[in-house]
């Protein structure tokens, strides 16, 4: 029979991948705690309209990459109704409005870790299902929080051991100054439309900022294009200046990137992406975010300033592998083995060690001791607890599987012995 394989653009996380993923997720959770973010979870699928309104009809995520879903008996209408979430921000803001969270003492600091879905052409570092660590601060106009979030992302990469992540920052203005900037881009690119890709010519009509995002845009055309920072209104300019001053004051490595416009339409003012130094050309941002002061209103709520970021966990793990980042040592594993039909004793001893917080793998077989020891080593155990007659006096054999040294100790002594304290 033909084998069934995982869908294209998805990956299985196998046990050997787990240590890096555990590290990334644990750090995200710990930083969320240290930066006083509270957990929020929203559904994996939402109304299509949430994304088309929130992220913009002309964003790639909506126009090309929407992952539609329907029930087993789903009609065409149902299929048109729901999509797997391509990103978390729209769902979080929907929940913020739906639960009247604006009455809570703000600004709200919300965080989520979970899978996102974009029906894109898969390639290295680009998947149809991928995970993000997302943080959002809702109800804070900045600019201090803008710098705080960039500092948080910086710290995530630094504590992970990815010391060469650089923040690219830009300001793309707001409803007051964006129209004039859009027009300046349209006027400029219209003069060079013969040098644009079909995609960019189309974007020029619906979303001219995204032309700057075209990877095939000729460098001289990109260089000569109007810069958003030259078209900011006074308020946006002051905001951006303040963010840059704070980044300088905090000595956070950053570059002002005039081509950075972000792929989702909800952004206003501060926009940023994190890129691994030396890999800029590949445009594989490892994280990105920005301010979205107009999104709550766009989704039917009251006007609420907000900012957040999403860090790609798959790309973080890939970067850790590429740079051979060291992982923290794992806690020692203990195998519990025995000499005969003593499984009740083995399970009892395993239970006591687990109560003491130790990771334990009892051997459930009746094989010879030697075979059980071999199996324990192969399974990665550092120690074997050998259950025998001495158990009657509360003692067991403890074997160090790396040195081969063995002694008889009481069960209470095991935790200290294996953690090397005595």
Residues of this chain that interact with ligand HAM (CB under 6 A) are 87-89, 118, 120, 126-127, 130, 132, 134, 136, 263, 285-290, 292, 308-310, 312, 314-315
Of residues 82 and 309, the one with the C-beta less far from ligand HAM: 309
Of residues 320 and 360, the one with the C-beta less far from ligand HAM: 320
CB 360 within 8 A of CB 334: yes
- List, edge to edge, every strand of the sheet that includes 45-47: 45-47, 82-84, 67-69
Q: Please report, in angstroms and rounded to a whole number, the separation of the first and last CA atoms in the chain.
A: 56
> DSSP of 256-269, one letter per residue?
E-TT---SSTT-EE
* Nearest distance in Å: CB 350, ligand HAM: 40
CA distances from 60 to 202, 203, 287, 395, 407 (A): 13, 11, 17, 65, 64
Contacts of 217 (CB under 8 A, 6+ apart): 196, 197, 200, 211
* Nearest distance in Å: CB 125, ligand HAM: 6
Of residues 56 and 312, the one with the C-beta less far from ligand HAM: 312
CB 277 within 8 A of CB 166: yes
Of residues 138 and 398, the one with the C-beta less far from ligand HAM: 138
Q: Where are the alpha helices (DSSP H) in 300-392?
A: 313-322, 343-355, 369-378
| Token representation of residue 101 | 């969270």
* Nearest distance in Å: CB 169, ligand HAM: 13
* Nearest distance in Å: CB 323, ligand HAM: 16
Of residues 110 and 391, the one with the C-beta less far from ligand HAM: 110
CB 269 within 8 A of CB 233: no
Of residues 119 and 188, the one with the C-beta less far from ligand HAM: 119
Of residues 120 and 342, the one with the C-beta less far from ligand HAM: 120
- List, edge to edge, every strand of the sheet that includes 38-39: 38-39, 108-117, 129-138, 306-312, 287-291, 268-276, 165-171, 254-256
Of residues 136 and 293, the one with the C-beta less far from ligand HAM: 136
Among candidates 271, 273, 269, 267, which has minimal Cα distance to 295? 267
* Nearest distance in Å: CB 32, ligand HAM: 14
* Nearest distance in Å: CB 29, ligand HAM: 17
CA distance 178 to 205: 15
- Sign of the dihedral through C-alpha 58, 64, 67, 70: positive
Of residues 160 and 385, the one with the C-beta less far from ligand HAM: 160
| Token representation of residue 159 | 């504590």
| Token representation of residue 364 | 């459930």
Extended beta strands in 51-197, E state: 67-69, 82-84, 108-117, 129-138, 165-171
* Nearest distance in Å: CB 244, ligand HAM: 19
* Nearest distance in Å: CB 147, ligand HAM: 15
* Nearest distance in Å: CB 157, ligand HAM: 11
Of residues 139 and 289, the one with the C-beta less far from ligand HAM: 289
* Nearest distance in Å: CB 61, ligand HAM: 7
Alpha-carbon Rg for the chain in angstroms? 27
H or E element that contains 308: strand 306-312
* Nearest distance in Å: CB 408, ligand HAM: 53
- Number of CB atoms found within 10 A of residue 87's CB: 21
Of residues 133 and 189, the one with the C-beta less far from ligand HAM: 133
């Amino acid at each position: 029979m033909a084998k069934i394989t995982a869908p294209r653009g998805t990956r299985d996380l196998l046990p050997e991948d787990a240590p890096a993923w555990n590290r990334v997720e644990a750090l995200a959770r710990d930083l969320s705690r240290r930066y006083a973010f509270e957990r929020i979870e929203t559904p994996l699928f939402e109304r299509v309209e949430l994304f088309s309104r929130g992220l913009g009809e002309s964003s790639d995520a909506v126009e090309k990459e929407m992952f539609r879903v329907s029930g087993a008996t789903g009609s065409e209408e149902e299929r048109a109704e729901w999509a797997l979430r391509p990103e978390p921000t729209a769902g979080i803001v929907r929940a913020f409005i739906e639960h009247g969270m604006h009455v809570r003492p703000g600004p709200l600091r919300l965080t989520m870790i979970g899978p996102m879905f974009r029906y894109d052409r898969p390639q290295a570092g680009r998947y149809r299902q991928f995970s993000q660590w997302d943080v959002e601060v809702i109800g804070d106009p900045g600019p201090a929080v803008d710098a705080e979030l960039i500092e948080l992302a910086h710290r995530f990469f630094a504590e992970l051991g990815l010391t060469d992540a650089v923040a690219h920052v830009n300001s793309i203005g707001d409803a007051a100054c964006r129209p004039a900037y859009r027009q300046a881009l349209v006027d400029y690119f219209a003069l060079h439309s013969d040098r644009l890709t079909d995609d960019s010519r189309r974007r020029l009509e619906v979303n001219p900022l995204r032309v700057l995002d075209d990877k095939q845009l000729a460098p001289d055309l990109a260089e000569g294009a109007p810069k958003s920072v030259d078209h900011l209104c006074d308020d946006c300019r002051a905001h951006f200046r303040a963010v840059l001053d704070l980044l300088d004051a905090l000595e956070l490595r950053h570059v002002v990137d005039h081509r950075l416009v972000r792929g989702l339409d909800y952004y206003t003012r501060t926009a940023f992406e994190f890129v691994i130094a030396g890999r800029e050309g590949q445009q594989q941002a490892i994280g990105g975010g920005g301010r979205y002061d107009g999104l709550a209103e766009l989704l039917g709520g009251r006007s609420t300033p907000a900012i957040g970021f999403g860090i790609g966990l798959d790309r973080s793990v890939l970067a850790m592998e590429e740079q051979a980042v060291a992982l923290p040592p794992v806690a020692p594993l203990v195998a519990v083995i025995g000499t005969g039909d003593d499984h009740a004793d083995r399970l009892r001893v395993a239970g006591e060690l687990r109560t003491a917080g130790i990771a334990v793998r009892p051997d459930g077989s009746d094989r010879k001791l030697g075979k059980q020891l071999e199996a324990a080593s192969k399974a990665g155990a550092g120690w074997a607890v050998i259950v025998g007659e001495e158990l009657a006096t509360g003692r067991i054999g403890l074997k160090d599987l790396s040195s081969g040294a063995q002694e008889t100790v009481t069960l209470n002594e095991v935790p200290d012995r294996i953690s090397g304290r005595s």
